[in-house]
A and B are shown apart, each in its own frame.
Chain A
Amino acid sequence: MKKQLRTLAALAMAFTVAVTGTVTAKAAAPAAPEKQSITFALHSIADSIDPSITAETYASPILTNVFEGLVSYDADNNIIPGNAESWELSEDGTVYTFHLREGLKWSDGSDLTAKDYVYGWMRVITPEVGSLFADQMLPYIVNAQEYYDDNAAAEDVGIKALDDLTLEVTLINPTPFFLGLVATYTFSPVQQATVEANGDQWTLSAEAYVSNGPFYVTEINFNESYVMKKNPYYWNAENVVLEELKFVFIPESTTALNAFEGGEIQGFWEVPSDSLPVLRVESDELVTVNAFGTTFHIMNNTVEPFDNPLVRKAFNLAIDREQLIYNVLGTDDIPAFALVSPGYVVDGVDVTEGRSSYEMSPNADPEAAQAALAEAGYPNGEGFPKVTYYYSTNDTYKKTVEALVEMLETNLNIEIEMKTADWAVMYADIQAGNYQIAQYGWGGDYLHPMTFLPLFVTDAVNNYSHYSNPTYDELVAAIMVETDDAKAAEMIRQAEDSLMADYPMLPLFHRSYSYMMSRNTAGYFRTPLNNLYFRDAYVVE
């Protein structure tokens, strides 16, 4: 069936080429196998490449390509079968039954069964393992939190292998975005044998690092490179064209650009922002994709003057988002007037489509901003206390905050002080509530608005604004368990309306990702969740 579909797709593509002639013949033909090698530069090594432990962005390109979970993503952001061939959801929406493909194998050739999934998932909720992403599982799976807190036994947890090919997962509540979570690397299987033989060193040597994805690691040079080869034991190996995939670490983006233009590497991300405007005009190798992320700056809703919604509104109206994005940052981001990033689609309609702009516009509206400030009791900025704008030391953040401060000071006639510290100091301060207004943002973990909405729920762990609104809290709680996507979409809009009526933060832009890929490569894709897939990539002739 799968094969037939592929043939059909190839035919359709051939037809498109014949009719429109837009796709060059070059892009269609993969080069000889010995040329199927891509070197991609990353900015930094990850804290770990243990899928059960890490929560770091830098780990994702590695894990996305050497592991595969029950489900995965395709280039159009659809969830597709991965290790699981199919799955069913119980009537009440709380029990998932996953059916694994027959004959799945680890990269060392041993059998991979549903028990390996149980082992991998249980590691995440075992406190001694020290997973930084345990919060991806604990709130959703039956008895996961209880097991983590040592109040339940392993066999009570809702993760069970019914047989070698069947995994049953029992959820506390219907969780409409659960498959999105299952697609993250945290839900990967882990081979018990290698972990038991090598302990926490299992991710440090190529021999011990057993995986199950399209590629497997053949060489680990700490801080230098990961070399991967096509995994012959991958269930769909016959459709993997790329023979070798190499990740190298280049901390400086200008060095990466030089290496790219000299042909030493075929791609890299974190394009130097100074070069972006030029590359956008001159290079056909710059790829930009919309991300499922929003950059918003947070205001401490519990301290003066930001405890007043009118002050927060004035700030929101006084900034020129378009100028910030195009002139200051030189990116392709989209001005944001709310929290949830576009990208989640229900019945063909993006849930953010037609959303209000909450009196904001891409440009500043100084008069309306002044009016709001006057209503708050500070006509023409008189009597407004000097506030401190906090950001972590980084050139881009500095540029952003300087531009915003300039706009706010001019349009509101107030005084703002800037403060910077390294990010660990800044986040420690923010988490302790020691700030007034600060740089922040959020990249989604799964493609559903629920990855954003809890950020403003009363007392939620990441609610650094200390915003509290019972109506909003109730709506978010209801969305979390709503199985009817259309109904949920409606509630998501209501929740955002209720949130933005109070302007608890300063939404700036919905993010996009820019990266460079050689014109001699094809088939790769980067999802809005920032996962870069080389599964279908190949080098063209």
Chain B
Amino acid sequence: MGRYIAKRIGMSVVTLFVLICLTFAMMHAIPGGPFTSDRNVTEAVQQALNEKYHLNDPVIVQFGNYIKDLLHGDLGMSYQYQGKSVNDFIVDGFPVSGKLGLVTTIFVLLASIPMGIVAALKNGRWQDMLVMVIATLGVTIPSFVIATMLMYLFSYKLGWLPTFGISSWKSFILPMVAMGGYSLAFLARLMRSSLLEVMGQDYIRTARSKGISEFKTITRHALRNALIPVITVLGPTIANLVTGSFVIESIFAMPGLGVHYVTSINNRDYSTIMGVTIFYATFLIAIVFIVDLFYCLIDPRIRYE
């Protein structure tokens, strides 16, 4: 197990490095720079700006300096926001995105798994139909449409929940439902089909024939196996939810990290592009790794060497 973990960490570092190189190269390949705008500046001013932000150095030198700072945990200063460091963005934005992502994850899990189980056990009956209709809607309706409808109903018409911001716990309810819609639907469907498949296995028939109660058969034998595919996709799903959605954060005006993914690219804010990409990648790698370790706990047949 120890060797396995060491190997995985080594691989993660290599993956990250390749990603950093690719992002850095692509970012400098796209036209425009941090100070490109409809209003041009004179040559002297452009020179002064390049000087201040070290954009006059050859790209390879810039890359070297970046890696050096990165090893010290310094993601650099934003080219766009005066005086702000990328570390600040993450410290400011991640708690908001993280909180939203966490409540959404809990909401998704609490809703989707029972929904999937009910649908599988009541296969073909109205409960199944209902879950499948909800699941289909959740997958097909884009989150921004759900968000707009929810906001219209609960904020504008009924006035129960705030329209924007993060002023109270109530502010998180609508974004949570809107953002969780897709994952909820997807996981419910996955849970349903996975459980249906397991329920048809020989060992379930064996368990039943031994006279074990239906409840025990499902919880002890069926669910444990049926959960494996769900846990597999849970890693990326959690990472996605927790690192923030640009669309949802933007609709509900939440000052999370999601907005930086998109605006930093538009602004050619090089250090922010790098910083959030590295942060997101590290997070994703870590989550997938944790999920892999979780397999052992769920399924004793899986062993890592």
Contact = CB atoms under 8 A, between A and B. Distances in A.
A252 B251 contact: yes
Contacts of B47: 127
B31 A425 contact: yes
A203 B82 contact: yes
B38 interface: yes
Interface residues of B, number: 48
B142 interface: no
A197 interface: no
Given A127-B51, A258-B156, A428 B253 contact: no
A525 to B, nearest CB: 25
Contacts of A145: 44
Interface stretch (A70-78, A243-251, A335-343): A243-251
Contact of B36 (A149, A258, A259, A431): A431
B12 interface: no
A47 B266 contact: no
B83 A200 contact: yes
A49 to B, nearest CB: 8
Contacts of A130: 48-49, 52-53
Contact of A48 (B32, B36, B81): B81
Given A53-B82, A424-B32, A262 B44 contact: no
B40 A255 contact: no
Contacts of B81: 45, 47-48
Most-contacted residue by chain A among B80, B83, B92 (CB, 10 A): B83
Interface stretch (B113-121, B160-168, B226-234, B282-290): B160-168
Contact of B255 (A127, A128, A148, A223): A223
Interface stretch (B2-10, B147-155, B180-188, B195-203): B147-155
A204 B49 contact: no
A204 B83 contact: yes
B83 A203 contact: yes
B42 A262 contact: no
A54 B92 CA distance: 22
Given A262-B159, A423-B266, A427-B36, A461 B82 contact: no
Interface string B10-44: 00000000000000000000111101111111101
Contacts of A264: 162-164
Given A132-B41, A135-B42, A200-B82, A222 B164 contact: no
Given A425-B32, A431-B36, A222 B83 contact: no
Contacts of A461: 40-42
Contacts of A251: 250, 253, 259
Contact of B250 (A45, A201, A248, A252): A252
A320 interface: no
18 contacts: A127-B52, A132-B45, A135-B45, A148-B44, A148-B48, A223-B93, A254-B148, A258-B163, A259-B163, A262-B155, A262-B156, A424-B32, A427-B32, A427-B37, A428-B31, A428-B32, A431-B36, A461-B40
Interface of A: 45, 47-48, 50, 53-55, 127-128, 130-132, 134-135, 138, 145, 148-149, 199-204, 221-225, 248-252, 254-256, 258-259, 261-262, 264, 422-425, 427-429, 431, 440-441, 461-462, 464
